[in-house]
Structure 1
């Protein structure tokens, strides 16, 4: 058990940061979690949309589901399941070949357990961010992290210049706090100066990422021509996945809602034209049309949706794993742990594993103080 006076800052409330924060708190660490967004989840976030006639629609527009193979992660997921935070999505999945216009490679129910958050994907992160011992501060962006050798403390400052406190350790689960991309988007230097952690700097200099566009669709009637609730696309340069969001357990089913994911190649082409800044509404409208037209080109009977909207994930998927064996990066001298899906694998399970590893490193270190 760590000393109860030990204070750790966790930056980022995606699944990796949320898991790390909750495990640290269970081991007696006082955790303050900082998240620049209004709520937790990262790519496990959801969107709430209001139609022109006032109807509320909810979409898991990030990670649609996750699978588990690691026994330690499975143990945590079983606990979440018992708490009603997750449920198994028991539906059939397949692939769709855009050349033959046929479903192939059907995957039957139970072959590979697929889990979803209930009632939305970020329910898991939200619960973890509010466990005893975790103080979560949403809408608070970290502007800089300063290390004081003589005190062995980190001092955090907000983007607005506010003093956010001093901490014995730091967990960075949001790669933007050390990434050059932070500068490209904001014009400011990254909050974490890699010169402070030279032993890790080489691995952190550039974590390549891939963008992704998603299309949220809502239909008045079920798409009866589609016999599965999720499928990948083969031989499409535009679409990679499609999921029937309203078929998930615990999700509202007042209308049939689908979420489509673009290919990385398609997203790369759009970003090459518009840059890394937030896409304009006209750009997103054009993307929505292109993704939907590709959906229609499958030859499946796709009726006109009453709701259609695109969203861009600017750094959706890491294109490299920088700590596959270690599962996180750890600087013992400066008490910094770096965790996230970019450490292990670009999956929810990879992010969970990395958060668990970061918690273990800090808990073990702080218990020796």
Structure 2
């Protein structure tokens, strides 16, 4: 079909989709990213909040940082390139573990003993840059409602959530779980765009990817929390909190206030959701959650002062609890040129998502070169 030969649609602008799109564009393939949110990032989004006095606060309320495994030269090469472009820097702060049973820090690492990378000036900076590289068109605020494979055209036809025809594409990269998983469709009231039953038996395994919910609590303090010996804390023996980190201690961040982000345990989040359902949390519920998470933080006995800003956010399905692609690192339906990629294909972290995006791009570069 004319005008479609090298066009690929990427659904989702998280790190997996953004990396895939960037590699495709560098190989001369025309890419359009469709993202239902207002900006790029997915779980690497940066949250912008305003206080009652007008002060603006920024929080990395999802993934706080990422690491690269020793020997993963492919990902390390990408990260080195981002670092040279000023998109990434190393976060050189100490992390430790706090035991709620003994009310003591039980393990504090040496500063710089683990390389942690962060986006500059926010975790979403990497995705934002990749989504605007030459050859990549990004359409934000446009969710995909239906995808249909047209045998006569050997192409995918995509329509938006409101039924608008957004074009035909030679291939599709699905990097957003909600594109094919029905686990959270009762949030939108619509079925997922891809009907996996009609696509391939080999990808049916991912129809119900197990995912762990989490509540994030964003806090801002006038003065530093000097009683905490580390800027990152994992919690042991707490049913409520899993970890906390000082967001304002990252390179490239404003230090006019000290900002912390706390993450709940999956068990706590699942308990709340079991009582309230998957619908959008009410302001009253988020206020209740914020109070409970902060009370647990204070119960450490570490002299946590009152913040001047406190707000909770729910991540309903951001943290996958399984890996579905094995050594392939993405799921590939060659006959219909459909790649499914994301951290749920490799490991449930940023590095896994990057690996999966690279793998999906490789499948398309090879497939489209033979057409």
TM-score range, shorter chain: over 0.9
Which whole-Å deviations, capped at 9, do the CAs of 1:274-321 have from their partners, x for residues lacking one?
111110000000000000000000010100000000000010210110
Instruction: Quote the residue 1:36 is aligned against.
Output: 36
**Structure-2 separation of matches of 1:182 and 1:333:** 28
Q: How does 1:42-81 map to 2 (within 5 A)?
A: 42-69=42-69, 70-81=72-83
Give the aligned partner of residue 294 of structure 2.
292
* Residues 12 and 173, structure 1, Cα contact 8 Å, conserved in 2: yes
1:8 matched residue in structure 2: 8
Unpaired runs of 5+ residues, structure 1, are none
Which of 251, 254, 257 is the matching residue for 2:256? 254
Name the stretch that deviates more: 104-113 or 67-76.
104-113
Distance, in Å, in 2 between the alignment partners of 1:226 and 1:183 is 41
CA displacement at 1:182 relative to structure 2: 4.3
In the TM superposition, residue 199 of structure 1 has moved relative to its aligned partner by 3.0
Q: Alpha-carbon deviation of 1:108?
A: 1.4
302-311 vs 174-183, greater mean Cα deviation: 174-183
Distance 2:299 2:16 in 1: 38
Partner SS state of residue 315, structure 2: strand
In 1, are the aligned partners of 2:342 and 2:353 still within 8 Å (CA)? yes
Scaled by the length of structure 1, the TM-score of the pair is: 0.98
1:105 and 2:117 matched:
no
Map of 2:162 onto structure 1: 160
Q: Residue 328 of structure 2: SS of its match in structure 1?
A: coil
Q: Distance in 2 between matches of 1:32 and 1:74?
A: 26
Q: Distance in 2 between matches of 1:317 and 1:175?
A: 11
Equivalent position of 1:241 in the other structure: 243
- RMSD, aligned α-carbons: 1.1
After TM superposition, the score normalised by the length of structure 2 is 0.97
| 5+ long unaligned stretches in structure 2 | none
Structure 1 residue 75, shift from structure 2 partner: 0.7
Q: Deviations over 1:194-250 (max 9, x none)?
A: 123223332222111110000000000000000100010000000001000000000
Separation in 2 of the partners of 1:67 and 1:183? 32
Q: CA deviation at 1:183?
A: 2.5
- 1:129 matched to 2:131? The reply is yes
Matched, 1:17 2:13: no
CA contact (8 A) 1:45 1:121 kept: yes
Superposition pairs of residues 1-369 of structure 1, within 5 angstroms: 5-69=5-69, 70-369=72-371
- C-alpha displacement of 1:5: 4.9
Structure 1 runs of 4+ aligned residues shifted over 3 Å read: none
Whether the 8 Å CA contact 1:217–1:305 is kept in 2: the answer is yes
Contact 1:5/1:29 (<8 A) preserved = no
Taking the aligned partners of 1:25 and 1:362, their CA distance within structure 2 comes to 11
Q: Secondary structure at the match of 2:343?
A: coil
Q: What is the rounded CA distance, in whole Å, between the counterparts of 1:48 and 1:55 in structure 2?
A: 11
Aligned-residue offset at 1:324: 2.4
In 2, Cα distance between equivalents of 1:224 and 1:111? 22
Q: Kindly tell me the number of residue pairs found equivalent between the two proteins.
A: 367
Q: Is the partner of 1:137 in helix, strand or coil?
A: strand
Q: Once the 2 structures are TM-superposed, how far is the Cα of residue 4 of structure 1 from its aligned partner?
A: 9.9
Q: Secondary structure at the match of 1:287?
A: helix
Looking at structure 1, the residues matched to 128 and 110 of structure 2 have their Cα atoms a distance apart, in angstroms, of: 31
Q: Residue 337 of structure 1 aligns to a residue in which SS?
A: strand
Using the TM superposition, give the Cα deviation of residue 107 of structure 1 relative to its aligned residue in structure 2, in angstroms. Answer: 1.4
